[in-house]
Amino acid sequence: MKCQEWKPLLSGYVDRELTAEEEDRLKNHLSHCSECRVDLQELRDIEGVTSAMKDESFAPAGDVFWDRYWLSVYNRIERGVGWLLLSLGAAALVGFGAWHFATGFLFDANAPLIVRVGTALVIAGGAVLVVSVVRERIRTYRHDPYKEVKR
């Protein structure tokens, strides 16, 4: 095995992630490879530096920040629920109105035929457009590689 192939194992060794067998093989290699020993020491130094930074949170400190953070999350969840209810309610009302309009007006023999045919075409066109957009959205959602991964 070439030296370059041992290199990734050095990271695993520093992180204590190697199996016992991998560790034995690597130690054996290290015993006669000064280049990899130097590399290992450098990786340990790097790990030491990042470990020392681990507790140094990059996130803003202070209860005020996190209070506001949580409130914002809460409000956005609540608004999402609000929008969902509003949309469902509006859809139900629009559906109800459309049904009554269709049954009451389109089949009203007193209304001029041209108006009834024109209205029917407008409704049919609108329905086709809605179905098309919804179908496209569903298709896009299904093929979006960045949507949340289900586990």
Partner 1 sequence: MEGSDGTWIEACKSGQRAAFEPLVRRYGPRAYRFALALVRDAEEAKDLSQEAFIRAYVSMHRFDSERPFYPWFLTILRNVCLSHLRRRRVKVDLEQIPELEDRRELSPDVKVRVEQALMSLSTHDREILELKAFQDLSYREISELLEIPRGTVMSRLYHARRRFKDAMT
83 vs 101, which CB is nearer to partner 1?
Answer: 83
Determine the residue type at 25.
R
Which residues, including other chains, have CB under 8 Å from residue 41's CB and lie 6 or more apart?
none
Binder of partner 1 out of 2, 21, 34, 51 (CB under 8 A): 51
- Binding region for partner 1 (CB under 8 A) out of 50-58, 87-95, 98-106, 116-124: 50-58
Question: Of 31 and 50, which CB lies nearer to partner 1 in the complex structure?
Answer: 50
Q: 40 burial class (0-12, 13-18, 19+ CB within 10 angstroms)?
A: buried
Q: Could you say whether residue 66 binds partner 1 (CB under 8 A)?
A: yes
Least gap, CB of 67 to partner 1 (angstroms)? 9
Q: Classify residue 134 by burial, with Cβ atoms within 10 Å: 0-12, 13-18, 19+.
A: exposed
Q: Round to whole Å and give the CA distance between 60 and 111.
A: 68
15 lines the binding site for partner 1 (CB under 8 A)? yes
How many Cβ atoms sit within 10 Å of the Cβ of residue 91?
10
CB of 39 to partner 1, least distance (A): 8
Q: Contact between 54 and partner 1 (CB under 8 A)?
A: yes
Burial bucket for residue 50 (CB in 10 Å: 0-12, 13-18, 19+) = exposed
Q: Which residues of the chain form contacts with partner 1 (CB under 8 A)?
A: 7-12, 15, 17, 42-43, 45-47, 49-51, 53-54, 56-61, 66, 69-70, 72-74, 76-78, 80, 146-151
